[in-house]
Amino acid sequence: MTDLGKIDRDFFDEVIYPNLGADRDDVVVGPQHGVDFGVLSVGDRAVVLATDPVSILPDLGWERAGRLALEVVLADVAVSGVPPTHLAVSLSLPPDVTDDELTRLWRAISDHAADLGVSVASGHTARYPGIDTSWVGGATALGVGDPDDVVRPDGARPGDDLVISTGPAAEVTGLFATLFPEALGLDAETVATAQERVEDVAVVADARAAFESGDVTAMHDATEGGIQGGLAEMADGAGVRFDLDREAVPVAPGVEAVCDAVGIDPWASSSAGTLLIAVADGAGAVVDALESRGTPAAVVGEVSAGEGVYVDGERVRAPDADPAWAVFRDLSER
């Protein structure tokens, strides 16, 4: 099993998937590799839900840290095509977080949730000894909507176009440049540009704009394993082949410099906020809708019968582990 980040597929298949508690008829979509949300059938409504850890990085500033954390925990529901509507959040904070800091953090989360139409329905907030990392709890996001609106990441079909927004490694670029600016060995202007990548994480509004603009058949966010891992999960789940043109994929300023500096492949590294989208009709309209929001996007390839992900004709596979985890650990220990 991997020692950092998500457990690997073998462990999931051997331990997690066979042991899912009671077998209930109202669970339409349960835990599956490559599908980051579940779906419940409640009356005539679909309830899409997903749970993620909450990461708060004070070095970003409490307000910005709160907004980023919220975007990450809402992302897996947002890519379902059903917008997130409710949130349950548990914060287990270090004892040294002050009342003022907690106030700034929570108000930022609440204000951003209100802007996105999300209501906090339940939660738990406390300080506990022994907690000194950025991982300070967990949250469950829910979206209540029409069952016909649910889009799965494994829904791509031959003939679809592939759209990518934002591009590879924007998230880790922004975080490394903000948290470890002196360790990168880059000039101040490049570091400042790379730090702006934290603001690229706007997956909730971007996913909604994409869904409303074209016939979206599959949507996934490029978190652990990056766009390479996300595309592999999508193609494998759908049993189809993806062909991409590397030069067509947008790359945000600062990404290549930071990834070169820390020695990671941007295509294999996490990029929360980057959307991988299969579109049956209206790919150009999806790109236009994203770009009208200030999010770079492009049609980068197509779906056909077959299997695997091919970039410029060469097959690529999901990385065994996201390389950003090891870099984060190494930089944190310096």
Q: Which of 163, 165, 172, 164 is nearest to 270 (CA)?
A: 172
Is the pLDDT score of 2 beyond 80?
no
- Taking residue 315's Cβ as centre, other Cβ atoms within 10 Å add up to 11
Is the pLDDT score of 92 beyond 70?
yes
**Average pLDDT in the 180-205 region?**
96
pTM score > 0.75 for this model?
A: yes
**pLDDT cut 90: percent of the chain above it:** 89
Band (pLDDT 50/70/90 cuts) for residue 264 is very high
CB burial class (10 A; 0-12, 13-18, 19+) of residue 90? middle
The vertex-34 CA angle with 29 and 38, nearest 5°, equals 25
| Packed helices 203-213 and 283-292: angle between N→C axes, nearest 10 degrees | 140
**Average pLDDT in the 144-166 region?**
97
**In sequence order, what are the beta bridge partners of 206?**
none
Q: What is the 3-state secondary structure (H, E, C) of 143-196?
A: EEECHHHCCCCCCCCCCCEEEEECCCCHHHHHHHHHHCHHHHCCCHHHHHHHHH
Q: Rounded CA gap, 86 and 105, in Å?
A: 19
Range with the lowest mean pLDDT among 56-65, 128-137, 140-149? Answer: 128-137
Band (pLDDT 50/70/90 cuts) for residue 49 is very high
Q: Which of 15, 5, 9, 1 is nearest to 237 (CA)?
A: 9
Copy the structure tokens of residue 24.
């209930």
Is the pLDDT score of 1 beyond 60?
no
> Phi/psi of residue 178, each to 5°?
-85, -40
What pLDDT does residue 132 have?
81
H-type alpha helices, 62-123: 62-78, 99-115
Say which residue, 33 or 13, is predicted with more confidence. 13
